[in-house]
Every structure is written in C-alpha cells, then in structure tokens.
C-alpha cells in the first residue's frame, strides 16, 4: 500500500522509522533543499484525542526555544489527519542507553553532560518554561556527542510567570519531586531541579536514588528523600546531590545557585554560561545570500520573510543552512534555483 501523499514529501525524503512512542513515531528524513538530515515526529490527530492540546503547547514552546542544548524544531506541517514536527537530528541516541552501556559515568564525564543539562534547563526557565519531564530518555546525543533536551509535551508556561503555582501532576514517578507527587501546588522550576538531582545521581551511580516496583512504596521513598550514597561519589558531588534532593522545595538549591555550585564550576573561572549561542535577531549573511538567490528575492525581502519565523520550509531552510555552516560545510542549497 503506497504511503498516501502528504505535503511533507514536497520538502523531505522520508526514510526509516527511528523511534515510536505512545501516539507518535519518529522517522529519519533528508531536507531536499539542503540535503541535511532531520528527524520527523509524525502524530495522528485522531490517536492524540484529548492529548492534542499538549502537542500545540509543545509546538508553541519549541518555536520560542533556540538553544545549543535544546533539540531544535525546524518546521511544522499539518494535514486533516496528521501533525508533522521536523526536528534536529540526534543520531547519538538516548542518554539513558549511553549510561546503561557504560554502567555508570566517571565524574568528569558526568560533569560535562550535567553542565549541558543545567544550561538547557536554566535557559528554558529564563524563557518562562518548565520542562516537568526531565529524565535520561529525554536527553539525546547529537553527532558531536552533545546533549539535546527533547519532548516538551509536558512543559508548562504558567500564565502568572515562573512563580505561579502549578498543580497538574505529570512526568515519570522516579524523577518526580515530592511536592509534585504529594499533589501540592508546586513551582515548575523547583520540580525541575529535583528531577535534575535524580538525573545527576543516575549519571554517576547507574541506578536511581528512589526506586521500587510498587508505586506506593516508591512515593514513600521520594517523600522521605532518603537514598544510598555509594562510596565512589566524591564529597563535592554528594553535597550537590544533597542540595538538589531536598524534600522541602524551599530548602532546595535553585537554578541560579546551581550554575555556580563548586562541583559544576570545577576548573572554570566563572559560572556555567546558559545563554543561547543563537541570535535570531541578526540573520546570518551567508544564509541570506544563498536563500535570496534560490528563492529569487532581494536580500531585504528575504530577511523579512525569514524574520516572520513561520516554521515553514523557509524557517527550516534557514536553520539547516546555519547548521551546515556551523559544521564547516558549505552554506549551499543543493537544488538549482
């Protein structure tokens, strides 16, 4: 049965499936104009049902988040029955599988990864978002072995800002903060710090601080906040885990303090730089030139079209050309104008 025509094929050559989850599957694809590889997350609207609004929330979040450690959204296409999210290609797979394969990570390697995780989370918090589902499965490795945060399906942008209390319980139990599973009102940013504490523990230990097959028993352990400290952990790392896994969110370290914790800044002259390396306000010259030739527009017109950020093929072509340039490849469109 040939795949029914979808507009996605005007812009991408779809390849094999690289992942499938609840109501989505992810396929490898090539962007026709630039030749760049991407991941296309394909969702069936009917199957999404009541979860459809979560996808809209994620797409709106992804449109404002551009950061070196957040998986980039390039384009969104919608048909009557499907939603396509064209995403940054992360061939290194999940951090979860990487930890399992190595049993646990040496402290130095865990520190490099954790700096990337903290910078991604600090960035999304400054943009007003909490992720709320931080876990190794939601951190992918790109081809340069850098981490990319994915899956903002549970993220929240509280209307009243990051100090506004949230109440919906979500995310994976083993990484969920006590106040979140307690059903109390909670701050997304504080809950994300707890999840990062569980993540750091998993990175350096290879197992979870709170674990139990019985969910009730697991919740009790999380609320007690007691966990084993293996003898291979250094005193500094134990201190950091301790201040992140504080049951009382008001006693828990916050992201700003996290960025200058001694364990994280070891060997550095200043706190972790979490700012994005992208600047969507000054459009890259080489990309404008290439695109204005291909699309037969003046440079000024091309700049204004790009600055609409419609997340159509123009947005995708711009970011993918920028990616090519960053990887030292020629900033060229492969198809004749």
Ligand X SMILES: COc1cc(O)cc(Nc2ccc(C(=O)Nc3ccccc3)c(OCCC[NH3+])c2)c1
Q: Name the residue with tokens 């549970």.
A: 154
- Out of 90, 177, 196, 218, the only residue in the binding site for ligand X (CB under 6 A) is 90
Q: Residues 34-38: contacts with CB within 8 Å, 24+ apart?
A: 34/317, 34/320, 34/321, 34/324, 34/332, 34/333, 34/334, 35/334, 36/89, 36/320, 36/323, 36/324, 37/89, 37/91, 38/12, 38/74, 38/86, 38/87, 38/88, 38/89, 38/316, 38/320
Task: Indicate whether 91 belongs to the interface with ligand X (CB under 6 A).
Answer: yes
Stretch that binds ligand X, among 84-92, 213-221, 262-270, 323-331 (CB under 6 A): 84-92
Q: Is 133 a catalytic residue?
A: yes
106 SS3 class = coil
Task: Indicate whether 206 belongs to the interface with ligand X (CB under 6 A).
Answer: no
Q: Are 200 and 114 in contact (CB under 8 A)?
A: yes
Task: Indicate whether 151 belongs to the interface with ligand X (CB under 6 A).
Answer: yes
Stretch that binds ligand X, among 88-96, 292-300, 313-321, 328-336 (CB under 6 A): 88-96
Task: Indicate whether 136 belongs to the interface with ligand X (CB under 6 A).
Answer: no
Instruction: Give me the least distance between CB of 199 and ligand X, in Å please.
Output: 17
Q: Are strands 93-94 and 147-149 parallel, antiparallel or unpaired?
A: unpaired
Q: Name the residue with tokens 């009102």.
A: 185
Instruction: Give me the least distance between CB of 206 and ligand X, in Å please.
Output: 19
Q: Which is nearer to ligand X, 90 or 177 (CB)?
A: 90
Q: Which is nearer to ligand X, 91 or 106 (CB)?
A: 91
Contact letters (x/-) for ligand X, 1-40, by CB under 6 A? -----------------xx------x-x----------x-
- Out of 140, 177, 287, 321, the only residue in the binding site for ligand X (CB under 6 A) is 140
Q: Cβ of 140: how many Cβ atoms within 10 Å? A: 27
- Out of 42, 43, 73, 305, the only residue in the binding site for ligand X (CB under 6 A) is 73
Q: Which is nearer to ligand X, 152 or 210 (CB)?
A: 152
Q: How far apart are CA 306 and CA 291, in angstroms?
A: 10
- Out of 89, 114, 175, 227, the only residue in the binding site for ligand X (CB under 6 A) is 89
Task: Indicate whether 99 belongs to the interface with ligand X (CB under 6 A).
Answer: no
Stretch that binds ligand X, among 74-82, 91-99, 304-312, 326-334 (CB under 6 A): 91-99
Stretch that binds ligand X, among 5-13, 111-119, 148-156, 199-207 (CB under 6 A): 148-156
Strand ordering across the sheet containing 139-141: 93-94, 139-141, 147-149
Stretch that binds ligand X, among 87-95, 124-132, 236-244, 270-278 (CB under 6 A): 87-95
Catalytic residue among 51, 97, 133, 142: 133
> What region does 41 belong to: left with phi over 0, alpha with psi -120 to 50, or beta?
beta
Q: Are 103 and 202 in contact (CB under 8 A)?
A: no
Q: What tokens does 275 get?
A: 């700012």
Query: Alpha carbon of 314 to those of 18, 295, 310: distances in Å?
Result: 25, 9, 8
Q: Which residues bind ligand X (CB under 6 A)?
A: 18-19, 26, 28, 39, 41, 58, 62, 71, 73, 87, 89-91, 93-94, 140, 150-153
Q: Which residues are catalytic?
A: 133
């Amino acid at each position: 049965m040939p795949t029914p025509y979808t507009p996605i094929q005007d812009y991408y050559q779809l390849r094999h499936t690289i992942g499938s989850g609840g109501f989505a599957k992810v396929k490898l694809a090539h962007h026709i104009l630039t030749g760049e590889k991407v991941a296309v997350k394909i969702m069936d609207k009917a199957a999404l049902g009541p979860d459809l609004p979560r996808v809209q929330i994620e797409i709106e979040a992804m449109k404002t988040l551009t950061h070196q450690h957040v998986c980039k959204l390039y384009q969104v296409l919608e048909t009557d029955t499907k939603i396509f999210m064209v995403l940054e290609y992360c061939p290194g797979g999940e951090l979860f599988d990487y930890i399992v394969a190595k049993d646990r990570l040496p402290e130095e390697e865990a520190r490099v990864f954790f700096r990337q995780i903290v910078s991604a989370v600090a960035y999304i918090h400054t943009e007003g978002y909490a992720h709320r589902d931080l876990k190794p499965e939601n951190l992918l490795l790109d081809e340069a072995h850098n981490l990319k945060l994915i899956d903002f399906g549970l993220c929240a942008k509280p209307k009243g800002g990051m100090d506004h209390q949230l109440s919906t319980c979500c995310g994976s139990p083993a990484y969920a903060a006590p106040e979140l599973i307690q059903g109390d009102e909670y701050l997304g940013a504080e809950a994300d710090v707890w999840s990062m504490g569980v993540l750091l523990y998993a990175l350096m230990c290879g197992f979870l601080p709170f674990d139990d097959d019985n969910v009730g028993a697991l919740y009790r352990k999380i609320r007690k906040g007691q966990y084993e400290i293996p003898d291979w952990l250094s005193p500094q790392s134990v201190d950091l885990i301790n201040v992140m896994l504080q049951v009382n969110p008001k006693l828990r370290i916050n992201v700003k303090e996290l960025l200058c914790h001694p364990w994280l800044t070891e060997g550095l002259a200043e706190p972790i730089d979490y700012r994005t390396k992208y600047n969507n306000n000054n459009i890259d010259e080489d990309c404008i030139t290439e695109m204005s030739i291909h699309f037969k527009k003046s440079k000024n017109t091309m700049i204004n079209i790009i600055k609409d950020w419609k997340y159509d093929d123009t947005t995708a072509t711009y970011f993918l050309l920028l990616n090519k340039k960053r990887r030292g490849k020629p900033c060229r469109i492969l198809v004749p104008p």
